[in-house]
Structure 1
Amino acid sequence: MTTSMLDSALSSERLREHLPEPGAWRPVPDVTDRAFWTAVHPATTAAMVDRAERLAGVGPWPALPASLWLDFARTGNRIRYQDPYFARRRRLAAAVLAACLTDDERWHDEVADGAWLVCEESSWCLPAHDESHGARNTHALPDVDNPTLDLFAAETGALLAWTYAVLRPKVEERGLGQRIVDEVRRRILVPQRTVDSWIWFGRRGHVGNWNPWINSNVLVCSLLLDSTREEIVTTVERAVFGLDVFVGGYPADGACDEGQLYWWRAGASLSECLEVLRSASGGVLDAFDLPLVREIGRYLHRVHIAGDWYVNVADGSAKLDADGASAHVLYRFGRRVGDAEMVAHARWLRGDGPLAESTTGVGRALLALADSDWASEPSADPPLVAQAWWPDTELLTARETGGSARGLFLSVKGGHNAEAHNHNDVGTFLVALDGHPVLVDAGVADYTRQHFSPDRYEIWSLRSAYHNVPLVDGYEQAPGKEHRAADVRCELDDTGARFDLDLAGAYPAEAGLLHWHRSVRLDRAGGQIVLSDRWAFSRVPGDVRSHLLASGAPVVLGAGALEVPTPGRTLRLSYDGAALDVEVERIDLDDRRLRGAWGDHLWRIALVVRRPTADGGYRLEIGAGRSCLANSAGHRA
């Protein structure tokens, strides 16, 4: 089997020559190496043991009865099964780390309890992903003889593989060692080597984040648990085939069109796959010098606003998810591609906290603890780059002052309405002030069946009517790759950044739009953002308006101005009060994922053209306003 983009470094011939024998790759010492484990930084040890104590102290291990599995088929709700499913795995991961750090029999028993429960589960995949009765048949209990290898089955396999690798004497003492090996082989390794039909595998062409996400775990399972070198080579060859499809389908600019949340399981997981192969081969199988890989790595810090706020597109969250991010993975990625800004961003993410995040997966935590360079890396500030432009993805980020969160931050996107985890949002823009998002994208609520159904765009936060784009004579943007931006141009220099595009193609033909030219400019000298919209219809429209989603409660100051509060200053919006009316609507948030980002409310501002004409336009000036002593709802200083 040969590849294209990864072939020079990871060809079948090179894999066969340089992959290790079974059991040879052991990047983390096991529990018997007490010199290593007792030398872990005391604050890290204390944090990890404390987390294990808190999780073990909640009571009995969560139950996963059959009725809970069937609940998804009956209601479309995903979280009622997923919450206890993930709680089991978090508790087991925390116990594994506590057992390694303390070598306390109490934690070894806790690990045995958790591993036994997981091995007894009929399926390791989620009900929403089950294909054991055929493609996405979710209306029955899983077929235990036909396991589905989804994202979380793969993660579960890696969790148990690492458990076996670092605690082998203790799990074998309790009679669990062979059970763990057998279950991981049966549910993960054999299916990976024998089933080609899964979409994520790559046989059908372009694949998304499922491929590197699953393969990063499969590679670990194989190198830690497979019993023959031929099994390892076959597993790795098949993984590399899919990774090559993934990389080959990535835009040349390296942007993740799913946003920073999914970057952690797209670009970051790709780096983990490459790192495992590099480490297992003693540095010989190294694909980090591929230019595209470097660009993929550079995405995250260039969409960073400030603090834990990031530009969010598609279903990505506006806030960093501590359960999905790993500072060490980013650090190691930055070191491998030689990017100092990535390294600085990673070190800033860690701050004064522990060396590893036990919430992000036991493997990520173990590898961080075993990296002495990471332990000694000096503290750093985030790069806060002045501006970045991704021409293939049509995404811009720019800030008033490079290296500082102070002042205005702007992001604008073009693209099309069939991107990964798409929202209908061509031409939307985001504005932050002093590091706090003010004109925002809501993101996505906790997933349900509807999010992956033909009714997806009936969900309010995915519709263009709830993004910072026009509503054109009552018509919203339409889904589909054909509904896209045109005439996209971006200009960057020291004085500012300008993004121009035509939005007309994002709307259905019935809207009657000939063009809608949008220009958004960050003027550094003037300390403002200027938005200019110009349109032409084939008829005189009855209603023309543009929406702005705000994180704080807008205050209309009179004809021509309004302000949105932030924890520091207000964001002031100035417009032609004679031409535009303003309407403000409060959006109550009842979803925990949305509330976790924004609090209880968002607000939708409508700039309504008073006397619509077939040809027209307006201008909006955005800048810093007065100091605001009280924090706005939805923001946390």
Structure 2
Amino acid sequence: MQPSSPTSPLPHPPSSTPPESLAAFRDPDLLARVLPGPGRWRPVPDVSDRGFWDSVDEATRQDVLRRAEELSARPWPVLTASLWRDFIETGTRIRYEDEYFGRRRRTVASVLAALLTDDARWHDDVLDGVWLMLEETTWCVPAHDFSAREEGVRLPDPARPSLDLFAAETGALLAWTVAVLGERLDARSPLVTRRVVEEVRERILVPQRTDDSWVWFGRTRRPVNNWNPWINSNVLACSLLLDESAEDIVTTVSRAVEGLDVFVSGYPEDGGCDEGQMYWWRAGASLSECLAQLYDATGGVLDGFAIPKIAAIVHYPHRVHIADGWYVNVGDGPARIESADTAEPHVLYHFGRRTGDAEACAHARFMRGGGPVTTPRLSLGRSLFALADQDWRDAPSTPAPLVGQAWWPDTQLLTAREQAGRVEGLFVSVKGGHNGESHNHNDIGTVLVAVDGHPALVDAGVAQYTRQHFGPRRYEIWTMRSDYHNLPNVDGHEQLPGTEFAARDVTAKLGEERAEVRLDIAGAYPEDAGLLHWWREVALDRGDAARISWRDEWELDHDPHAITLHLIVAAEPDCQSAGSILVPTPARSLVIDHRGFEPPVVERIDLDDRRLRGAWGEALWRITMTAAVPSRRGSWELDLYAGAAE
């Protein structure tokens, strides 16, 4: 069967009008008419299409084969009961997950190598990976398995599958593998394909069709976060590729669309992602994958890209881009994309093309650089779609758009750079919002600053996840606390978590010469702190003497004992000059002139976590600045600019 194209534009019929929401796609009669029958959706060529797979460019071919060779040189990862129980007993996730994801990375790389070479060696390696996954008691990871949380239950119950992110990912990995390599697997044993169909049905598709209690679905709790589109994107692939009943496909798609409608309805109108740029790749990007599958499978009849809010979502990644691999990070999002598993540039490219966003397409192509069309990562479907998209394969390299400024009024996030299209100069971001956001940090009012594309005043981000990150002691972790963001502390009081702790009276003005934001962050602090108002005003003034002016002005209901400002910086600061702090970056220093403070105190924060070290190296530094005269009403000012090049 000739594959359908996942990328060629299919215009609306002249009489059609854009849908208001995804709810318009839930009609079972409509779905029964437009969805393909079982086994008829094959959007990428299978291994027998040697003309296609032999035409893949040499750079991509060599990258895939190199990665596959590296992974296959190691023993297959082993998932033991002891590793599973390690999380239950210690709360540590990485020991089990390193082995779990290692199996899947190797299988994905071997599938791609098998497609490119049609070599029996790689078909056999794929068979081993598939068989290992089929033999796993659960495809869920320990941190997400609800059956193992009950007292006395220390191992997963195969009779009670948990449909989490990675169970869904595993189901889709197996479904795509059968779709493109089924002939080669059947030649080894027809039982393999049969077992894949049965296991995906029992672990993924039946739970999705019959269980309304999944919190990510949106029936028992709203709003929903990235789990919703992430899981649905994989469930849709499982159903369209493996379901054997047209009625089952209709039911699965209808329920997936219902959940996606909840996700989109709860998304801010401005398209901002309060989970941060890394999670955008599993929120907005996964949503676009869902829409792409629905569009392609129905010949363009179900076109969710035409919904007005959808177009706003694609803006986020390139508008929070600082330079190179650095991004504005909020919540648990890291300051830079940390691995190939996180982001597949083609997804952004396709999303941008469908919504007519040339800047999004340019940013995606910048992310790819001069490298391969795709690289093996955890999501096999993403790589397959990238390889099947001729437009993406042929797209010329482009520089990053480096947007001059952006403001998300609902999300309450400002980004602004000294000169649009240029890395050189100052970059600033200011965050409002509330402290009940998904993957929240207590960070209302925090300010980030970069010089010449290098972060100087920063948000640490998040360490490798443990059980504590998603439990009642989350805000005992230092990276979550407002005292470890660029924020004030009044008489020992930090910000508190919850939607009720929020910025107030937030306004922004964006112009050619100046970008500024003003917000009252008093509402993010507990009542005992006694803050009536804490106005924070931050402005980037462009021009020959570009600088960032930062003024905090407060009013309390008492005479305070101490008011401090904490700043987190990416390099050891020089505080030798009175009234001035120098934070070095590779080219120039960030100079922070300050008025109204005692001499600053500097603390080195050694980083022993691999995720934090991956972003920042061995250490971050915290500067504590204490108000010289703590008073009921008062203010302080900071003036930030780039120092002379060394």
TM range, smaller chain: over 0.9
2:350 aligned residue: 332
Matches within 5 A, 1:535-546: 535-546=554-565
Give deviations 1:489-519, integer Å, cap 9, x for gaps. 1011111111101111111111111211110
Question: Does the alignment pair 1:581 with 2:599?
Answer: yes
Q: Could you list the per-position Cα deviations for residues 298-337 of structure 1 after superposition, in whole angstroms to 9, with x for gaps in the alignment?
A: 1111000010000000000100132110110000000100
Could you report, residue by residue, the CA deviation over 1:320-360 in whole angstroms, capped at 9, with x for unpaired residues?
13211011000000010011001111111111100012124
Whole-Å Cα distance in 2 between the matches of residues 586 and 551 of structure 1? 10
3-state SS of 1:581 partner:
coil
Deviation at 1:522, TM superposition (A): 0.4
Q: Which amino acid aligns with 1:191?
A: P
Which of residues 87, 109, 117 is equivalent to 2:102?
87
Whole-Å separation in 2 of the counterparts to 1:139 and 1:620:
55
What is aligned with 1:283? 300
Which runs of 5 or more residues in structure 1 are unaligned? 629-637
1:605 lines up with 2:623 in the alignment: yes
> Residues 427 and 469 of structure 1 are in contact (CA less than 8 Å); yes or no, is this contact kept in structure 2?
yes
**Structure 2 CA distance for aligned equivalents of residues 182 and 429 of structure 1:** 51
Alignment check: 8 A CA contact 1:468 1:548 kept: yes
2:286 is aligned with 1:272: no
C-alpha deviation, 1:136, in angstroms:
7.0
CA–CA distance in structure 1, aligned partners of residues 202 and 396 of structure 2: 44
Q: In 1, Cα distance between the equivalents of 2:27 and 2:195?
A: 34
- Alpha-carbon deviations, 1:24-64, whole Å to 9, x = none? 11011111111111111111111101100000012x20110
Look up the equivalent residue of 1:584 and give its one-letter code.
V
Aligned counterpart, 2:131: 116
Identical-residue share of aligned pairs (%): 59
Task: Report the Cα offset of residue 392 of structure 1.
Answer: 0.6
| Partner Cα distance (2:642, 2:83) in 1 | 50
Other-structure match for 1:161: 175
Partner of 2:470: 452
After TM superposition, the structure 1 = structure 2 runs for residues 30-45 of structure 1, keeping only pairs within 5 Å, are 30-45=46-61
Matched with 1:527 is 546
The verdict on how the C-alpha distance between 1:107 and 1:138 changes in structure 2, with shifts beyond 3 A counting, is farther
The answer as to 2:186 corresponding to 1:172 is yes
What corresponds to 1:478 in structure 2?
Answer: 496
Superimposed CA distance per residue, residues 562-590 of structure 1 (whole angstroms, 9 cap, x where no aligned partner) = 101101101101112x6432111110000
Aligned to 2:360: 342
1:91-240 alignment, distance < 5 Å: 91-132=106-147, 139-175=153-189, 176-204=192-220, 205-240=222-257
Q: CA deviation at 1:14?
A: 2.5
Count of equivalent residues: 623
- Cα deviations by residue, 1:599-632 (Å, 9 ceiling, x for unpaired): 000000112112211111111000001324xxxx
Letter in 1 for 2:640: I
* Kept after mapping to 2: 8 A contact 1:259/1:315: yes
2:267 to 247, 250, 260: 250
Residue 327 of structure 2 aligns with which residue? 310
The secondary structure found in structure 2 opposite 1:569 is coil
| Distance apart, 1:145 and its partner CA | 1.3
* Matched-pair contact (CA < 8 Å) for 1:73–1:139: no
CA 1:105–1:138 in structure 2 vs 1: closer, same or farther (change >3 Å)? farther
- Evaluate the alpha carbon distance shift between residue 535 and residue 384 of structure 1 in structure 2; reply closer, same or farther with a 3 A threshold: same
The one-letter code of the counterpart of 2:583 is V
**Deviation at 1:463?**
0.2
Determine helix, strand or coil for the equivalent of 1:158. helix
1:128 touches 1:138 (CA, 8 Å); kept in 2?
Answer: no
CA–CA distance in 1 between the matches of 2:439 and 2:540?
Answer: 28
By how many angstroms is 1:394 displaced? 0.6
CA shift for structure 1 position 224: 0.6
Q: CA deviation at 1:10?
A: 5.3
**What is the rounded CA distance, in whole Å, between the counterparts of 2:67 and 2:106 in structure 1?**
9
Residue 576 of structure 2: aligned partner: 557
The answer to whether residue 527 in structure 2 is matched with residue 509 in structure 1 is yes
- Alignment partner, residue 21 of structure 2: 5
Cα distance in 1, alignment partners of residues 294 and 150 from structure 2: 32
Aligned mate of 1:415, from 420, 425, 433? 433
2:479 maps to 461
Aligned to 2:11: none
Tell me what 1:355 maps to: 373
Deviation, 1:12, is 3.4
Tell me what 2:410 maps to.
392
- 1:300 pairs with 2:317: yes
Q: 1:397, 1:411 within 8 Å by CA — same for their partners in 2?
A: yes
Residue of structure 2 in register with 1:424 after alignment: 442
- Give the deviation of 1:9 after TM superposition: 4.8
Q: Distance in 1 between matches of 2:143 and 2:73?
A: 30
Q: Is it true that 1:69 corresponds to 2:84 in the alignment?
A: yes
Task: Spell out, residue by residue over 1:74-118, the C-alpha distance to the aligned partner (whole angstroms, 9 max, x if none).
Answer: 001111110000000000000000011001111011001111001
Amino acid at match of 1:221: C
Are the counterparts in 1 of residues 597 and 625 from structure 2 also a CA contact under 8 Å? no
Structure 2 portions without partners, runs of 5+: 1-18
Q: Aligned letter for 2:558? A: R
Which string of whole-angstrom CA distances, capped at 9 and with x for unpartnered residues, describes residues 526-571 of structure 1?
Answer: 3000100111121111111111100011001321111011011011
RMSD: 1.3
Aligned to 1:632: none
Q: TM-score, normalising length from structure 2?
A: 0.95
Name which of 384, 391, 401 aligns with 1:373.
391
Once the two structures are superposed, what CA deviation does each residue of 1:247-268 show, in whole Å capped at 9, x if it has no partner?
Answer: 0000111100011000000000
Distance 1:343 1:8 in 2: 28
Q: For the Cα contact (< 8 Å) 1:14–1:285, is it kept in 2?
A: no
Task: Give the secondary structure class of the aligned counterpart of 2:229.
Answer: helix
- C-alpha displacement of 1:467: 0.2
Contact kept, 8 Å, 2:25 with 2:257, in 1: the verdict is: no
Which residue number in structure 2 is paired with residue 634 of structure 1? none
Deviations 1:170-193 (A, max 9, x none): 111122111111111111111111
SS of corresponding position for 2:370: coil
* 1:489 correspondence with 2:507: yes
CA 236–138 in structure 1, closer or farther in 2 if over 3 Å, else same = farther
SS for the counterpart of 1:124 is coil
- Hey, what does 2:39 align to over in structure 1? 23
Contact 2:25 2:254 (C-alpha < 8 Å) held by counterparts = no
Distance 1:125 1:136, change over 3 A: farther
C-alpha distance in 1, partners of 2:71/2:248?
37
Note if contact 1:129-1:138 (Cα within 8 Å) is conserved in structure 2. no
CA distance in 1, matches of 2:365, 2:411: 28
- How far apart, CA to CA, are the structure 1 residues paired with 2:255 and 2:172? 17
| Distance in 2 separating the partners of 1:506 and 1:27 | 49
